[in-house]
A = this chain, B = another copy of it.
Amino acid sequence: MKTGTENVVRLTTERLQLHLRHTFTISRGSEDIAETVLLRLAAGGIDALGESAPVSRYDESPDLVASQLEKIALTEPALWRFDEALALLDDSMGARCALDLALHDLAGKRLGIPVYQLFGLDPSKALSTSFTIGIADIPTTLAKIEEARDFPILKVKVGTPQTIETLEAIRSTYRGIIRVDANEGWSAGDAVRMLHEMERFDIEFCEQPIEAGHPDQLRYVKERSKIPIVVDEDSVTSADLPALFGCVHGINIKLAKCGGLREALRMIHTARAMHLKIMVGCMIESSVLATAAAHITPLCDYADLDGPLLITDDPFSGVRYEGARLQLPDAPGLGVRPLGPTAVGGR
């Protein structure tokens, strides 16, 4: 399996235009189409795939990510030396994410094992995902809840003045687990008041109540709220975690945000050492990214990997959804396949 040749590896990128089933609104804004960057890495007759969902919140764009990926030259030994290869892309988390996924896909395909096995994980311990309900007026929200009624876990985006009425309406028809995500929408004082009002709706946890970068305010909220606090925008990479010690109950890890599986494992290990709960989340993304994230759910507590369910034109198949339960593919590498010869690119 070892290789010593110095062949240059071919990297090509494509844009994926992913169309949302419903306009997706969170406290920061709305979107109907999401654009991600697909990476194809060809080495020694094996094609590997990676993907990045660049996030404007972190000053990244598809153009930036694609240009970063197109300018690097990788040679064979670096394909097994992950940190060395990823260090070529220090400027862009999104580009690192796409390359990290492709390197894991390639390694698994070369070794003939799925990524979960490369990590020594038990695929039967994969989690169930929540299904995300974006911000909308109450009748629209209730129509979405009706569509999602068989999902055992909902993640409800909040942050408007109608938050309490909306949750009241949802709870009147939905008995499953509800998580809320404020996406930095509140002040610390608002967060304490809102979370107190929400207690009667039996909320599992609240994601990122306040603007990132204020651990003392998170601690203030945590000490005054019965609803556990999970951060997302505050937990970009493992280096962010020590400052959160004692301030939160858990973190949300996203591959597109942290730079791929390798950094995600670092975050998982650091969070576990800090006795934090771990959620693995997603952006609007195809099955390439969501499947990579699904492979590490056996190490986590909560999954929010509904990206492929939110779009109408996923060009790939990978992780399958048995209801909400993630089924990891057994094929080597990420286990992702294109859904047909015309499925990728140009849409």
A→B interface (CB under 8 Å): 1-2, 77, 80-84, 103, 107, 111-114, 117-118, 120-122, 238-239, 241-242, 245, 262, 265-267, 269-270, 272-275, 330
With a cutoff of 8 Å between Cβ atoms, the chain B residues found around residue A238 in the complex are 269, 272-273
Interface SS of chain A: helix
Q: Is the CB of A80 within 8 A of B117?
A: yes
With a cutoff of 8 Å between Cβ atoms, the chain B residues found around residue A118 in the complex are 118
Most buried by B among A103, A107, A267: A107
A-B contact pairs, 30 of them (CB 8 A): A1-B111, A1-B112, A1-B117, A2-B112, A2-B113, A2-B114, A2-B117, A2-B330, A80-B117, A81-B120, A81-B121, A81-B122, A82-B120, A103-B120, A111-B113, A118-B118, A238-B269, A238-B273, A239-B275, A241-B273, A242-B242, A242-B273, A242-B274, A242-B275, A245-B245, A266-B269, A266-B272, A269-B270, A270-B270, A270-B273
With a cutoff of 8 Å between Cβ atoms, the chain B residues found around residue A273 in the complex are 238-239, 241-242, 266-267, 270
Least Cβ distance of A25 to chain B in Å?
Answer: 33
Q: How many copies does the complex hold?
A: 2
The 8 closest A-B pairs by CB, nearest first: A82-B120, A238-B273, A269-B269, A266-B269, A81-B122, A270-B273, A1-B112, A270-B270
Q: A2-B112, A239-B272 are in contact. List 8 more A-B contacts (CB 8 A).
A: A2-B330, A82-B121, A83-B121, A103-B120, A239-B273, A265-B269, A267-B273, A269-B270
A279 to B1, CA, bound (A): 30
